């Protein structure tokens, strides 16, 4: 990408999209295009095609998606599969028709098989059964990756895909009904501290292991991929390091300064036992993460205090 290239960021208000914009601006890219969901409903094919015809972007970061944690995925599976299928299909097809130079699609590590070999290599995709609690979302995101692959094969377009691990950062979703584990725990510990509660209830056993990547690191990696990678196989985006959820909770408890105890609600689901990505392909492109976990949690909590309090 040249500094003056016209770049469309789909999903610019989300945690990932806003991080991509921050990093692009820092690097001197200033010809950026984006629309709010009120201005452009990405689920409507004719509206998306019209947008591409009028704006003619050269590069596309496809970060728009309907996302959520275990509860949201379990409760609204039809919305998760429909919205995500429509968003990605409309953008990928319209980008092809408009003749853009390059598109980068974001998948998610939760779309790998539930019992994939660890750490998970890119080749594990579609090698086994999915985690039932997020099957609808997983199928939609797998479809996006396959769309990029097959459009690339048939039409010769430079469409690539990235597979981020669990993400966290500023602009995350802290709604306890729909959020992922990191922001949910930050909010729970903070509110317990403020209210003087003696305990915080955490879903599941705390034994599952998860890998976490700071979203600004992801944004930097995605721009790096856009400039340095071109292949039909997707690239895992992560740190190559994971941690038990109970250990994560202890770190967040320490950062927040909560002094009560943690209680596990084992009636709630754990989800996939482990999701550690093999990041050799990413490292081979010359990129490695910079923000370590506790440092990143401190950054998020400082932002949470400013924005939510």
In angstroms, the CA 183 to CA 172 distance is 7
Rounded-to-10 torsion of CA 91, 97, 103, 107: 40
pLDDT at 54: 97
The strands making up 274-275's β-sheet, listed across from edge to edge, are 243-244, 209-210, 274-275
Is 132 among the domain residues? yes
How far apart, in Å, do the first and last CA atoms of the chain sit? Answer: 39
Looking up tokens 């599976």 gives 77
CATH number for the domain harbouring residue 104: 3.40.50.720
Asked if residue 93 belongs to a known ligand binding site, the reply is no
Q: Mean of the pLDDT values across residues 223-234? A: 98
Does residue 110 contact residue 132 with C-beta atoms inside 8 Å?
A: no
pLDDT at 121: 97
Is 264 among the domain residues? no
In angstroms, the CA 187 to CA 143 distance is 33
Is 87 among the domain residues? yes
pLDDT in tens, 114-134: 889 999 999 999 999 998 888
For the chain, what percent of residues have pLDDT higher than 90? 86
Phi, psi at 163, each rounded to 5°: -120, 85
Is 50 among the domain residues? yes
Q: Mean of the pLDDT values across residues 203-222? A: 95
Is 96 among the domain residues? yes
Helix (H, G, I), strand (E, B) or coil at 263: strand
pLDDT in tens, 261-275: 999 999 988 877 888
107-138 exposure pattern, b = at least 16 Cβ within 10 A, e = fewer: bbbbbbbbebebbbbbebbeeeebbebbbbbb
Q: How confident is the model at residue 185 (pLDDT cuts 50, 70, 90)?
A: very high
Is 261 among the domain residues? no
Asked if residue 140 belongs to a known ligand binding site, the reply is no
Asked if residue 109 belongs to a known ligand binding site, the reply is yes
Cα diameter, the chain: 60
Q: Mean of the pLDDT values across residues 164-179? A: 88
pLDDT in tens, 66-116: 887 777 788 899 999 999 999 999 999 999 999 999 999 999 988 999 889
Asked if residue 107 belongs to a known ligand binding site, the reply is yes
What is the domain range of residue 287? 7-172+211-241+275-291
Q: Which residues are catalytic?
A: 137
In angstroms, the CA 42 to CA 52 distance is 11
Looking up tokens 């991929």 gives 225
For the chain, what percent of residues have pLDDT higher than 70? 100
CA-to-CA dists, residue 70 to 135, 173, 262, angstroms: 11, 14, 20
Asked if residue 190 belongs to a known ligand binding site, the reply is no
- Give the helix/strand (H/E) hosting 166: strand 166-168
Q: Which one, of 42, 27, 40, lies nearest residue 226 by Cα? A: 27
Is 99 among the domain residues? yes
Q: Mean of the pLDDT values across residues 14-31? A: 97
List alpha helices for 27-134, DSSP H: 45-55, 70-75, 77-98
pLDDT at 207: 94
In angstroms, the CA 161 to CA 111 distance is 13
Asked if residue 106 belongs to a known ligand binding site, the reply is yes
Query: What is the sign of the dihedral through the CA atoms of 135, 136, 137 and 142?
Result: positive
Total structural domains in the chain? 1
């Amino acid at each position: 990408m040249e500094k003056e290239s016209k770049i469309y960021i789909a999903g610019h208000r989300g945690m990932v999209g806003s991080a991509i914009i921050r990093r692009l601006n820092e690097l001197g890219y200033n010809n950026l295009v984006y629309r709010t969901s009120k201005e452009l409903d990405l689920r409507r094919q004719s509206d998306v095609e019209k947008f591409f015809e009028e704006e003619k972007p050269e590069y596309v970061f496809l970060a728009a998606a309907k996302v959520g944690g275990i509860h949201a995925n379990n409760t609204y599976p039809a919305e998760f599969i429909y919205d995500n299928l429509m968003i990605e299909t409309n953008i990928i097809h319209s980008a092809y028709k408009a003749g853009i130079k390059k598109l980068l699609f974001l998948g998610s590590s939760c779309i790998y098989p539930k019992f994939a070999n660890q750490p998970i290599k890119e080749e594990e995709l579609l090698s086994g059964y999915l985690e039932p609690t997020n099957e609808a979302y997983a199928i939609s995101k797998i479809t996006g990756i396959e769309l990029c692959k097959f459009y690339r094969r048939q039409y010769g377009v430079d469409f690539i895909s990235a597979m981020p691990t669990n993400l966290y950062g500023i602009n995350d979703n802290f709604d306890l009904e729909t959020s992922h584990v990191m922001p949910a725990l930050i909010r729970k510990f903070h509110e317990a501290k403020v209210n003087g509660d003696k305990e915080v209830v955490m879903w599941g056993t705390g034994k599952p292991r998860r890998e976490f990547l700071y979203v600004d690191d992801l944004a930097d990696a995605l721009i790096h991929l856009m400039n340095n990678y071109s292949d039909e196989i997707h690239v895992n985006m992560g740190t190559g390091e994971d941690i038990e959820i109970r250990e994560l909770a202890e770190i967040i408890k320490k950062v927040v300064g909560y002094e009560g105890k943690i209680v596990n609600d084992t009636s709630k689901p754990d989800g996939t036992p482990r999701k550690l990505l093999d990041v050799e392909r990413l490292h081979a492109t010359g990129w490695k993460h910079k923000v370590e976990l506790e440092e990143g949690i401190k950054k998020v909590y400082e932002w949470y205090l400013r924005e939510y309090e």
